[in-house]
Amino acid sequence: MGYSKQYKEWTNSNVEADFDVKEESARLAPGGEKELVCDGIGFIKLTKDEDGLLKCIMKPVDGQPNEVVTWYEIMARFNANSPTPPTE
């Protein structure tokens, strides 16, 4: 099981953060992707489109195709306020 620093901060969960999404995003080139699991948020992969927008590939639910959501959408789901979402 893996958890991001953001999930831990947003939910005040008593889990160990295994990675920071902002740091991982900074290492990801446009058009790149990285398999990274956050069980709390529910994503299994981070990807960055050609414009540098960070997106999350979510775990499939009930045999449905994986949902792809932007980091902005993830922040909205968790009511997280971040002046600079990771898109670098």
User: So what's the pLDDT on residue 80?
Assistant: 81
User: So what's the pLDDT on residue 1?
Assistant: 74
List all residues 6 or more positions away from 44 whose beta carbon is below 8 Å from its beta carbon.
35, 36, 37, 57, 58, 59, 66
Query: Is 69 inside any structural domain?
Result: yes
Supply the pTM of this predicted model. Answer: 0.85
How many folded domains does the chain comprise? 1
- Domain containing 27 equals 5-77
User: So what's the pLDDT on residue 82?
Assistant: 55
Query: Is 88 inside any structural domain?
Result: no
Of 44, 35, 39, 41, the C-alpha closest to 65 is 44
User: So what's the pLDDT on residue 49?
Assistant: 95
Please give the average pLDDT of every successive group of 10 residues along the chain, which has 88 residues: 93 95 96 97 96 96 93 91 52
